[in-house]
Structure 1
Amino acid sequence: MANALFIALALMGQAGQPASQGPNAPPTDEYGYVAWCYGALGSYISLYDRVMPEVTRIEKAFPGPEGVAAALKTYPEIKAQAQKDLKTYSSAITAAEKASPRPISEYGGAQVKRGAAIWGGADTVDKARLAQMWMSWEPPGDCEKRAKALEVKSTILGKALNYNTTSAIAQPTEAPPAEAPAPAAATTPTPPPEPAPEAKAEPASAPTPPKAVKPAKAAKPLAPAKSSAAKAETIIDPANPAPCAGSLVPAKRGGKDVLICKAD
């Protein structure tokens, strides 16, 4: 029974298609799914040194059209690629945990264990059967795609959360409108000096009063800022993520999955 169960679970990743049922099937949410992929692939790679002697025997006993050397060369390449994929999954998981407003690492750890559990029967199955399943297994084909999408969304969300937090802590206050300067008082004309006693007095012409200084125009008050609700929707480009002063809403634009930044 244990061997039969192990075989069923180990075949979950055949042809890149995960099984939809089973005690250790991957969850549907993106974060949990990537964590499951990490556990399944990590457990698969941990068996590398253990299965390779039997894999080598099988390849020599049943050589392919390209020969034994060519076939055996692919397994170190598979291991190297798997190690790169694990880094991709790990980066996405870390980004999601940093961006999440609540702790999710405990849930992610549980999904890693569920993924690793598909290889839990490795100690009870025959070594030849184990090697055969190991040679034919591969992780679900969308693990890498979903990991990259998760990291992009988490990075955008993380920047938005940081942006909103900073704005809430220190919001710039609007400067009050400048007061209009007081109008200058009109200048009183100075009377002409009286003529000297020796000089013959001539009728003095009336002095021209100086022009009154016009009061300066009052400064116009600053126009109130437009409400964020009046702005058009902002599409966050995953290739060039930018801060979002609001909420990120998944949507489709032009047939692609995007995030729409909407004001709270």
Structure 2
Amino acid sequence: MANALLLALALLAQDSQTGGQAAAQGPNAPPTDEYGYVAWCYGALGGYANLYDRVMPEVTRIEKAFPGPDGVAASLKTYPELRAQAQKDLKTFASAITAAEKASPRPISEYGGAQVKRGAAIWQGADSVSKARLAQMWMSWSPPGDCEKRAKTLETKSTILGKALNFNSASATTQAPPPETPAPQPEAPAPQPAAEAAPPAPAPEPVATPKAEPAKTAPVKAAKAETKPAAKKLPPIGGNEVIVDPVNPIPCAGSLVPAKRGGRDVLICKGD
């Protein structure tokens, strides 16, 4: 088992430099199709990231025992950066895998899961080797250089394919309704020949309106002023009484007192 792990690690380390030619010869080599290849990269890189906490104590010991030209601190600084980059790349791979599974017209997730396991299998002998040997192989490993590039290509193609599949699916299930046949409209009546224009009727002759004659009024005869007969002084009756006729009264130097004399109404002028 240890020999299988070391062989796989060595091949993968070489693959990162040669572009995949050596890795194609290993038992857990990635498949050639893009979806399977990216799934394999996800499994291999995930196994690498999962070993970080386990191997770092031994990696630190080795770096201190064999410091690089830039010193121990500079060498140890690169490993947290490698882990951060691995986590970022894992998200890129996962996004591409998900896009491909959504775009595929048939289920492919089972195949993708199998390739993830194949990628992770390159670390299956980690428990069978010494800490120093595992740390040395871990320090020298990196994922194939085209994993990220192929993941981005896979996601781009899957997105385009997914849109096309969705469009075709929608077109197949949602048929455009046939155009409505317009209801027959009643035919317009045929135009009738225009009747010959009748000659204009002669304008009616103006009727003379008789002038209103002023109403004749009967001449008013001047009414003759009625002249009343001058009042006659009645002769005194019975002594010194002055009898005044009420119809033709005469001035009285006193007061007129109504009275009855000779069977008729009279006024008696009495001195004050």
TM-score, with normalisation over the residues of structure 2?
Answer: 0.67
Say if 2:191 is the partner of 1:186.
yes
**Once the two structures are superposed, what CA deviation does each residue of 1:84-136 show, in whole Å capped at 9, x if it has no partner?**
00000000000001111111111111100000000100000111010000000
**Once the two structures are superposed, what CA deviation does each residue of 1:17-65 show, in whole Å capped at 9, x if it has no partner?**
4311222111111100000000000001110000000000000011111
Q: Give the 5 Å matches for 1:1-264.
A: 2-15=1-14, 16=16, 17-18=19-20, 19-173=23-177, 175=179, 185-187=190-192, 188-189=194-195, 191-192=197-198, 195=201
Q: Report if aligned partners of 2:64, 2:72 keep a CA contact under 8 Å in 1.
A: yes
Cα separation, 1, equivalents of 2:27 and 2:13: 17
Code of the aligned partner of 2:63: E
Larger radius of gyration: 2
Q: CA deviation at 1:193?
A: 6.2
Cα separation, 2, equivalents of 1:30 and 1:184: 73
Code of the aligned partner of 1:185: A
CA 77–181 in structure 1, closer or farther in 2 if over 3 Å, else same? farther
Corresponding residue number in structure 1 for 2:257: none
Cα separation, 2, equivalents of 1:142 and 1:85: 12
Cα separation, 1, equivalents of 2:201 and 2:97: 100
Corresponding residue number in structure 2 for 1:242: none
SS at match of 1:103: coil
The number of aligned residues is 198
SS at match of 1:152: helix
Cα separation, 1, equivalents of 2:145 and 2:62: 26
Cα separation, 1, equivalents of 2:113 and 2:152: 19
User: Which runs of 5 or more residues in structure 1 are unaligned?
Assistant: 200-264
User: Which runs of 5 or more residues in structure 2 are unaligned?
Assistant: 206-272
Q: Which is worse superposed, 157-166 or 18-27?
A: 18-27
Cα separation, 2, equivalents of 1:11 and 1:70: 25
SS at match of 1:123: helix
CA 195–120 in structure 1, closer or farther in 2 if over 3 Å, else same? closer
